[in-house]
Structure 1
Amino acid sequence: MFSNTSIVAYVLGLLTFVLAPRLLGGFFRLFNYGPPPRRDIYGLEHALLNMRLPPETMWLNMAYWKNTSDFPTACNNLLQLLLEKSEILKTPSSRPIRLWDLGFDCGDQTISLCTELSRAGLTLCKYDGLTINRSQFLHAQARIQAHIEAHPYLGADNNKKDSLSIIELHLTDASKPSSPPSRAPALQHVSRELESSLLAFDLLRSGSATALQRVLLRLVCAVTQILYANRLTEEEYRDMLAAAGYARENIAVCDVSADVFPGLERFISARGLMVRDVGVLKGWGGFGAVGRVVGWWGRSGVVRGCVLVARRA
């Protein structure tokens, strides 16, 4: 048992350990042993006053960093890569095109898709965007509405009314049976009922991952709220697409990890230093964690960033 004296001695010792550096520092400053630390009245927080708000773009994807270090440009480059791999812009067709976009973020992707189809001379008869994120849904609605007001022929042949009528955004709830909680039901619906081709960027688990890497990946998924069950290997993904009704010979998978993960890690790291310097770190911690996870994916190869194309015959 501890005596009262020993407890008092322990507390005094702890206080001495905590306070001694401050007391000694004050003593040396009192007798002019070294200049007092300078503390600026103003920092760089006024960077917030100079930022353009709302932002000109609100892109959100893992981006394709080949030949660029700019985030919006890299995000749009990933979309351009998807369109290139699909060959949709190179295939002349008089048939109107209908798009189902699962996860349209804040509207930049929608605007870019419709613009690219229009430039290629293709007619978009309907665009349906689906998301489970309410804040992004509301932001995208306002953003697309404002863009159509300024560009009334976005994705349409005639006028602003046509543009508004062909673009429809939907807020879904993944917890309800009508909203597919996993990829398989959604893919079956797209393939069999809509008879549509599939174009996607997705994260695949390496088929050669070690047991330890799989355990670490499960932990990372749990912490970041990523559904581990959706991290399929390439073989499992091909099987899922085939089960949905796509012919195996019409399925293509292109690994672009080398131009995705390292660039995103570098960008997040560099932007984190800038954010720290101007003193606006609030809300940045999550992005810093993403940068470290993506860096691990790139170095270990446990996760691969892939472009997937499944064409209807």
Structure 2
Amino acid sequence: MFPPSTGLARQWYRLAAIHLRKRTDPPSKLHNTRLCKFDKKAWIIYSHPPIYPEMLEFLKRTLRKSRGNVYGLDHAVLNIQLPQQSMWMNMGYWEYTNDFPEACQALLDQVLTAALTTEKASAVSIVDVGCGCGDQSLYMAKFFNCSSSTAQSDPETGTRTATSAPSSSTQSDIQASESGLRSRHSKTKPQSPSQPRLDSYIGITLEPAQAALGSRRIHDLQRKSESSFQADIFCADAAVPSSWTGDLKKSITALEDASSNQNENDNDNTSTWLLALDTFYHFRPSRLPLLGYAHDNLNASFMAFDLILSDSITWYESILLRLVCWGTNSPFGNFVCEKEYVELLVTAGYNPASVQIRDISQHTFGGLADFIKRRAEEARPFGIKLGKFRAASFVFAWWAKRRVVRGVVVVARR
């Protein structure tokens, strides 16, 4: 058996070997001995070395040395609240906050407001692709169906309403006051009596773990809610509608039938929307299959936060962006300029006159890059590393400075 290469193990075996070589007994009489080559030297050692004074002294030194590390910061992991209060994941809208969940909610607010402020239907059905762990699903359920504008955080579902105040841990970092945040949310959330209710919700995510967590959370909310609405989250490839099977296919088919009946009867009671919040640029082979399916089969309007290319990108920046796409598993072909993006929507069947694109880059990339850097510094004393997010922060900072990529809110009405 070869001794381990760790420092403590080396010292232990060397001490054992020194004492065994002092023994007068022939090697053949030693109990349970073996020859082991280590550091180009031959040692005769016991499988279980006897305890000698030198070895006892070594153990005492080792124990005294490690005792000082018993009360470090490793126990921080025991103080982390589980289950997590939120599992948001998007680039966020950082104009009024430095808090990550608040910024993620604000980005969704920007999209919902742009799409639904002028909505005439009394109810909406939403197909939400790339829905993650269900935070945006729960948020929209409360956005449409919760009558209280000051509802607090639900520790079991892990969501806050649009008007919730920032957590105390980040309160000092938030640029706007608590009342300012509430005012901002109230302006971005439609408050008119004609605000539509959520009739049905279908969430789709490619990650099984996210689908399982999101489904459990949305069903918990349904059981506790006084409002009745249909909601499910499925694990599937949203980019390829032809691959949908099982319960997802049944739910989509039911939505297709309802949309067709409304279209035939010219009924405006319920409208259908496809939502893609910070996810569409990941879709393979492209955005077009889902956009065409949403327009032709679901009679759905489209709302999204998406990424498009600058009109003045250089060849050098294009090469760097290709490397970023390779590292993030995003097809480079999905990064197109605004004109090509509109043409894509027209190809899917949408009227170019109904397409609205608004650039919010200045409140997106820079804020996220700064947050990741700040969070990395805060986590370092506790031995928590942000890993891939540190690399992502450099990309976001580059986009914020050079405007190679633009973050836009997109609305295309059916």
Same fold (TM over 0.5): yes
Counterpart secondary structure, 1:297: helix
2:96 to 67, 70, 73: 67
Residue 205 of structure 1 and its aligned partner are, at CA, apart by 1.2
Unaligned runs of 5+ in 2: 1-67, 148-190, 244-282
State the partner residue of 2:126: 99
Residue 146 of structure 1 and its aligned partner are, at CA, apart by 2.3
Counterpart secondary structure, 1:195: coil
State the number of aligned residues.
262
CA gap of 1:92–1:81, structure 2 versus 1, over 3 A, is: same
Is 1:89–1:117's contact at 8 Å kept on the other side of the alignment?
A: no
Matched, 1:84 2:84: no
What is the identity percentage for the equivalent residue pairs of Structure 1 and Structure 2? Answer: 37
Paired with 2:307 and 2:132, the residues of 1 have a C-alpha distance of 17
Unaligned runs of 5+ in 1: 1-38, 157-162
- Give the alignment of 1:193-232 within 5 angstroms: 193-232=297-336
- Give the alignment of 1:70-219 within 5 angstroms: 70-86=99-115, 88-94=116-122, 96-118=123-145, 119=147, 121-149=195-223, 151-154=224-227, 156=228, 163=229, 166-173=230-237, 178-179=242-243, 181=284, 182-219=286-323
Residue 172 of structure 1 and its aligned partner are, at CA, apart by 1.0
Residue 70 of structure 1 and its aligned partner are, at CA, apart by 0.6
Paired with 1:110 and 1:214, the residues of 2 have a C-alpha distance of 35
Is 1:45–1:280's contact at 8 Å kept on the other side of the alignment?
A: no
Paired with 2:225 and 2:327, the residues of 1 have a C-alpha distance of 44
State the partner residue of 1:291: 393
Partner deviation per Cα, 1:162-207 (whole Å, 9 max, x = no partner): x4xx102221136967248321010011112211110000111112
Paired with 2:239 and 2:198, the residues of 1 have a C-alpha distance of 31
Paired with 1:306 and 1:286, the residues of 2 have a C-alpha distance of 24
CA gap of 1:233–1:58, structure 2 versus 1, over 3 A, is: same
Residue 53 of structure 1 and its aligned partner are, at CA, apart by 0.9
TM-score, normalization: structure 1? Answer: 0.78
Residue 40 of structure 1 and its aligned partner are, at CA, apart by 4.6
The one-letter code of the counterpart of 2:126 is L
The one-letter code of the counterpart of 1:106 is C
State the partner residue of 1:58: 87
Matched, 1:311 2:384: no
The structure number with the bigger radius of gyration is: 2
